[in-house]
Amino acid sequence: MFVQVVIIGGGPSGLLLAAKLAARGIDVIVLEQRTRKYVLSRIRAGVLETGTVNQLVEIGAGKNLLQNGLKHNGVFIATDEDMFHIDFKESIDKQVTVYGQTEVTKDLYELLDRRNIPIIHEAKVEKILDHTSSRPTVVYENNGQTKSVQCEFVIGCDGFHGISNKIIKRNQENPYLIQLPYGWLGILSETPPVEDELIYSRSSMGFALASMRSKSLSRYYVQVPTGENVGNWSDARFWESFKLRIPKHVRSNLITGPSIEKSIAPLRSYVANTMQEGHLLLCGDAAHIVPPTGAKGLNLAASDVYYAHEALVSYFFNNQLDKINEYSNKALMRVWKSMRFSWWMTRMFHHDPNQNPFEEKIGESELNHLKDSKLMQSVFSDNYTGLPY
């Protein structure tokens, strides 16, 4: 079997790239290790930058997004008993859209099905052969059988633990990786959001975030130490901890309810040395992991797709490798800018047990500067809503 492009990973980045390439007449196949039901059960981020929204709309996967996505003109920043608003629309005339990653994935699946773009589920990739040549081969197991597909390019959208990342790391040294000493305990509840936009809170009890998936589905988080066991957290304990981390006037509007999902996400930063080696390109979590504080994970995957699509189209239509060879540097430039912003936000909002009193005061000062400076709020808005591609 031969196709022009094999995409490993059927999450949002893999599906988005498949749809964009197929729309240009490029032959593509998606190999996904899990079942579709499993992929659609994953609870992930839901704040979309303008560039991500535009890509989904352009390929025809934006109908539900435009109808049901929540347009947000800003965010609230809180401390123990104080809260202020950063207005994206006023400062830079941009917005973000709150729309769950599960819904993005569902919309992309429906689009690929309508256009008969092949997705093979329960396809465990065992080998990527000759990825530095012009004819790589992907070997995978499906339904108890070993199969292979030859191609011109392999795109690894299979995450941090996937085979694509491992192959490139095997040939590279010193990846940029930091594990933070805290994580996020998050719950999903069928309750109306406490506020109509997100609230980021730096409190004396630790970080908290009030987010949402819709007008009737809320997502809340509290900071917990690394290694914390989610089984130790009843709904009652979570709600009590969350209430202590938000201002009193917000607390009085909070509607609580039973959780329908509860999990702990570790916080870490990772960036690969390179996102391309020969005819193997990485996108999304296969190349970088960013703390969720700045809402950049899914959006960075979408920007990778933008650059990968640009490079592949140039190759297949102009027979040029220039943009393929430039892909990693171009994508990583935007990755590092977003990584810087997420790192800054993370350090500003969280209490780090390894910080000294001086560093704690710097975090407080950063927050006060953000509150008092319109220029700083414009910089924040520019980064949060998404830097240009």
Q: Collapsing DSSP states into helix, strand and coil, what is residue 43?
A: coil
C-alpha distance from residue 293 to each of 63, 104, 296, 304, 345 (Å): 28, 20, 8, 19, 6
Could you confirm whether 296 is annotated as catalytic? yes
Question: Tokens representing 308?
Answer: 């990968």
Amino acid identity at 286: A
Locus of tokens 């040549």: 133
Residue 275: other Cβ atoms inside 10 A: 26
Could you confirm whether 357 is annotated as catalytic? no
Rounded CA-CA distance 135/148 in Å is 12
> Which residues, at least 6 apart from 177, have a Cβ–Cβ distance to it below 8 Å?
268, 269, 270
Catalytic residue among 72, 262, 330, 350: 72
Catalytic residue among 200, 221, 306, 327: 200
115 with 28: CB under 8 angstroms? no
Catalytic residue among 136, 292, 330, 350: 292
Question: Tokens representing 108?
Answer: 């992309």
Could you confirm whether 200 is annotated as catalytic? yes
Catalytic residue among 296, 309, 330, 350: 296
Could you confirm whether 350 is annotated as catalytic? no
DSSP for 229-263 reads -GGG--HHHHHHHHHTTS-HHHHTT-----EEEEE
Q: Collapsing DSSP states into helix, strand and coil, what is residue 219?
A: strand
Q: What share of the chain is helix, strand, coil (3-state, %, to 5)?
A: 40, 30, 30
C-alpha distance from residue 330 to each of 2, 26, 243, 248, 261 (Å): 29, 22, 43, 45, 37
Could you confirm whether 384 is annotated as catalytic? yes
Burial class of residue 309, CB neighbours in 10 A (0-12, 13-18, 19+)? buried
Rounded CA-CA distance 5/193 in Å is 42
Question: Tokens representing 282?
Answer: 């990485």
Residues serving a catalytic function are: 72, 200, 292, 296, 384
